[in-house]
């Protein structure tokens, strides 16, 4: 779902909104929550001991039956009974959430608007309290905020935000925070939501900002412009103060800057690293020369006119490196790239420059003004784990090819899945392509299905016509493999899953991506979703002048060289953002390698872009799961 859709549609049918508040937006241009009469409790997958509403309806009606009053019509008596039921649901929220949920779900079908509307908040409260995560998401995705009574809307939005924060779904959480901001307007007593909204905004990746688009509601537009100002001028106090003043004039409907989140003002006052002479330590000779030159080229492309880059071959002894940097009068150092060169530098008793090392931190103790930037494969595994949680997958299968990088990624995913869910992820590995097909039949259990068919034929003495059946409990497959292995895996899955069964979505990492894929291979990969840096995704980078210049100069560069070019470009660009990110860790810099944040004030963590093979192309994918 794009936020553009959710923020733009006004609630034209809401006549109860006071004139001093902004108009309430519909969450989605969909029908109201009211269910048809024949709908059953199966519409929400109630679990964890929640009693079926159809089983308790008679009991609840009996409990809530109001004393017959001669003056009341049957319709009035029915309304009175349902009002008593609604009160029971509210009373049970703190004592028996499952019972409150059963009652509230029953009331969704009420013919009385005065019951259905106040029941919306009760139903959401019961779902959240009963930990019915999937049902909560279904409710929020299928309703309009306009169907919630005005007095309940702020509380409803707050619960929705809480739910999506728990799922680490920042886009949906932001959507509901925006709805709350529209509801509350400039009410200074309710400014806490603005702090939340800002914290959510600064976490957006470049792909997520692009997904939002250009909202029509002036408050939503104002917030996005404020984010752009922070990302563009943070570290440049004069320019940022001027930009904030211009912003306030363009958006008089927004609160005064004194009532806005304090981080915004602090960002405008935090000085950035602005070195004019930058020392760069890279392997410029020996077996890793091509890697160093790729990073070097990226840094040259990113350098500003007033910056001078002093390149030093990192293969030199540590004392010589220090001497050359001193002679070059550098103010900041980028590199080394190789771990052994970083260890060599850190043995020096004194190192007087702020430094962005181009590798993982490892076991080194954190030191002031020393940062670490690596294209860590674990970041991709971490991001896929979060994506699976947002989609509320219960039973993914992890499959990886046996090599050191794949094993590291798989181990990270396994550990984090265990930590977050308390479950062990089902895992398989393979050492050769020959093992792939047998492995697929093993975990899909089609071989066992064929054995049962064979046994039936033996017992009956007849040729029983039956299809093999594959498992139906798998939510998703996370494949960590190289491009060749991936191109074999996907067709094997397609032909092994039972005909008529719902396909199993396959997700993979940039390890599976090759720029040399021909059209036939892309058709074989249809539907596969991967994480990849924006620089290597056509839709994310082809429109930029830098991409066009690079392709013209280096038309045949492979993925490894291109990744290192992007790393060099981002490394130099990051320098002016590090102080701001150290003070505000959620602030993202959207670069060629991904959306970059400073974790623990030391290490850069990446969020990559999601893309999917569709219609013979690798297309960007939105949070809603649709390609564009």
Residues 416-454 pLDDT 10s = 999 988 899 999 999 887 787 778 777 775 444 444 434
Q: What does the pLDDT read at residue 502?
A: 66
216 cis-preceded (ω within 30 degrees of 0): no
Q: What does the pLDDT read at residue 314?
A: 96
Q: What does the pLDDT read at residue 625?
A: 46
Residues 554-593 pLDDT 10s = 888 888 999 999 999 999 999 988 988 888 887 888 899 9
CB 512 within 8 A of CB 612: no
Residues 91-101 pLDDT 10s = 999 899 999 99
Q: In which residue are the tokens 């004039």 written?
A: 249
Q: Among 352-356, 364-368, 603-607, where is mean pLDDT lowest?
A: 364-368
Q: What does the pLDDT read at residue 145?
A: 87
Q: Among 57-66, 223-232, 317-326, where is mean pLDDT lowest?
A: 57-66
Mean pLDDT, rounded, for 213-234: 86
Q: CA dist 427 to 96, 380, 432, 560, 568, Å?
A: 38, 17, 16, 28, 35
Query: Residue 607 forms beta bridges with which residues?
Result: 595
- Is it the case that residue 12 has pLDDT exceeding 50? no
Phi, psi for 105 (deg, rounded to 5): -65, -35
- 520 — pLDDT class (breaks 50, 70, 90): low
Q: What does the pLDDT read at residue 65?
A: 54
Domain positions in the chain: 3-221, 272-372+541-607, 377-533+608-628
Q: Indicate whether this model's pTM tops 0.85.
A: no
DSSP H helical segments within 130-217, as ranges? 133-141, 153-166, 170-184, 192-201, 206-212
Q: What does the pLDDT read at residue 368?
A: 84
DSSP-derived pairing of the beta strands 617-620 and 476-480: unpaired
Q: What does the pLDDT read at residue 495?
A: 55
Q: What mean pLDDT, rounded, does the chain reach? A: 80
Q: What does the pLDDT read at residue 343?
A: 92
Q: What does the pLDDT read at residue 571?
A: 97
SS3 content of the chain, % helix, strand, coil (to 5): 50, 10, 35
Q: What does the pLDDT read at residue 148?
A: 92
Q: What is the DSSP letter of 151?
A: G
Q: How far apart are CA 336 and CA 360, in angstroms?
A: 11
- 503 — pLDDT class (breaks 50, 70, 90): confident
Q: What does the pLDDT read at residue 268?
A: 74
Share of the chain above pLDDT 90, in %: 39
- 36 — pLDDT class (breaks 50, 70, 90): very low
As a whole number of Å, the end-to-end CA separation of the chain is 12
Nearest to 432 by CA among 402, 408, 410: 402
Higher pLDDT, 611 or 626: 611
- CATH code for the part of the protein at 377-533+608-628: 3.40.50.2300
Q: Domain 272-372+541-607 sits in which CATH superfamily?
A: Response regulator (3.40.50.2300)
Helices 377-390 and 404-421 meet at what angle, rounded to 10?
40
Q: What does the pLDDT read at residue 501?
A: 54
């Amino acid at each position: 779902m794009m936020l553009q859709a959710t923020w733009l549609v006004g609630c034209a049918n809401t006549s109860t909104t006071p004139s001093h508040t902004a108009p309430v937006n519909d969450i989605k241009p969909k029908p109201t929550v009211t269910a048809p009469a024949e709908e059953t409790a199966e519409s929400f997958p109630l679990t964890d001991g929640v009693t079926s509403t159809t089983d308790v309806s008679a009991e609840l009606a009996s409990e809530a039956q109001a004393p017959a009053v001669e003056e009341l019509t049957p319709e009035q008596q029915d309304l009175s009974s349902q009002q008593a039921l609604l009160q029971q649901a509210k009373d049970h929220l703190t004592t028996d959430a499952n019972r409150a949920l059963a009652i509230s779900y029953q009331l969704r079908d009420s013919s009385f608007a005065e019951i259905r509307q106040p029941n919306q908040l009760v139903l959401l409260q019961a779902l959240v309290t009963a930990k019915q995560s999937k049902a909560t998401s279904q409710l929020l995705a299928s309703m309009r905020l306009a169907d919630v009574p005005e007095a309940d809307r702020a509380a409803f939005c707050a619960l929705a935000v809480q739910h999506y924060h728990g799922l680490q779904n920042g886009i949906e959480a932001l959507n509901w925070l925006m709805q709350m901001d529209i509801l509350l307007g400039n009410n200074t007593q309710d400014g806490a939501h603005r702090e939340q909204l800002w914290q959510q905004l600064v976490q957006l990746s470049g792909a997520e900002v692009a997904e939002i688009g250009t909202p029509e509601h002036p408050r939503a537009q104002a917030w996005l412009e404020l984010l752009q100002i922070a990302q563009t001028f943070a570290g440049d106090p004069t320019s940022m103060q001027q930009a904030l003043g211009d912003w306030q004039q363009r958006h008089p409907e927004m609160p005064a800057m004194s009532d806005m989140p304090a981080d915004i003002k602090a960002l405008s006052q935090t000085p950035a690293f602005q070195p004019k002479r930058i020392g760069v330590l890279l392997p410029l000779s020996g077996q890793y020369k091509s890697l160093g030159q790729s990073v070097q080229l990226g840094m040259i492309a990113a350098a500003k006119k007033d910056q001078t880059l002093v390149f030093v071959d990192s293969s030199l002894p540590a004392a010589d490196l220090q001497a050359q940097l001193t002679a070059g009068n550098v103010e900041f150092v980028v590199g080394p790239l190789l771990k052994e060169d970083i260890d060599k530098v850190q043995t020096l008793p004194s190192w007087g420059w702020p430094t962005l090392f181009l590798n993982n931190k490892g076991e080194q103790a954190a030191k002031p003004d020393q940062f670490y930037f690596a294209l860590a494969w674990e970041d991709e595994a971490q991001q896929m784990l979060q994506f699976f949680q947002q989609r509320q997958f219960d039973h993914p299968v992890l499959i990886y090819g046996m090599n050191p990088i794949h094993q590291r990624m798989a181990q990270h995913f396994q550990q984090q899945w265990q930590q977050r869910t308390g479950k062990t992820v089902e895992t398989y590995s393979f050492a050769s392509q020959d093992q792939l097909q047998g492995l697929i039949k093993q975990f899909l259990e089609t071989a066992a299905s064929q054995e049962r068919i064979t046994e039936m034929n033996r017992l009956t003495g007849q040729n029983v016509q039956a299809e093999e059946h594959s498992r139906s409990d798998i939510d998703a497959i996370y494949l960590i493999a190289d491009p060749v292995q991936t191109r074999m895996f996907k067709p094997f899955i397609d032909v092994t899953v039972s005909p008529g069964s719902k396909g199993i979505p396959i997700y993979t990492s940039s390890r599976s991506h090759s720029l040399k894929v021909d059209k036939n291979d892309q058709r074989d990969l249809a539907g596969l979703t991967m994480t990849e840096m924006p620089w290597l995704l056509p839709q994310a980078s082809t429109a930029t002048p830098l991409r066009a210049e690079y392709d013209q100069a280096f038309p045949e560069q492979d993925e490894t060289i291109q990744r290192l070019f992007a790393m060099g470009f981002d490394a130099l660009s990051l320098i002016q953002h590090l102080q701001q990110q150290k003070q505000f860790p959620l602030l993202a810099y959207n670069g060629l390698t991904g959306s970059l944040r400073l974790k623990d004030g030391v290490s850069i963590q990446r969020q990559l872009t999601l893309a999917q093979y569709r219609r013979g192309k690798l297309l960007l994918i939105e949070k809603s799961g649709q390609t564009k």
